[in-house]
Amino acid sequence: MVKVVKSTYDEIIKHAESGYPEEVCGVLIGNNGLITKFKECRNLNRERARDRYELDPHSFKEADDWARLDSMEILGIYHSHPDHPSRPSTFDRERAWPDWIYIILSINHGKYSDGRAWILHDFDSTFIEEKIELSL
């Protein structure tokens, strides 16, 4: 189960909707398996921004530094799928790291449709869907 503070999840949704019709991305931050914060990151993929993301390493480093200052850690990545289901693509799978949480938000016609969480247990496995539990 992936635990996310509801207000954090709501803000991630706003980020995903505001980026439509392009994919947005960012990092999930927290402690002890609870996602309490997030940090938006730039999508460097300009050629295929509607169906691909490439998380800017500079943005990632800034987010990691920011998390560490607050004694937190990066727990995973989120990104949107404009007008597509919230399932990982082959492209997503090829770039995934084991044990990180991947939340994918389906944004249809600019509005949130649904979000699903995925975890890869090792480099040779397939994604396993995990239920998202929102907490106060």
Domain range summary for the chain, segments of one domain joined by + = 2-135
Report the pLDDT averaged over residues 87-94.
Answer: 94
pLDDT for 136 equals 87
pLDDT for 16 equals 98
Does residue 110 carry a pLDDT above 90? yes
CATH class of residue range 2-135: alpha beta
Q: What percent of the chain has pLDDT over 90?
A: 98
Distance CA 42, CA 69 (A): 21
pLDDT for 122 equals 93
pLDDT for 128 equals 97
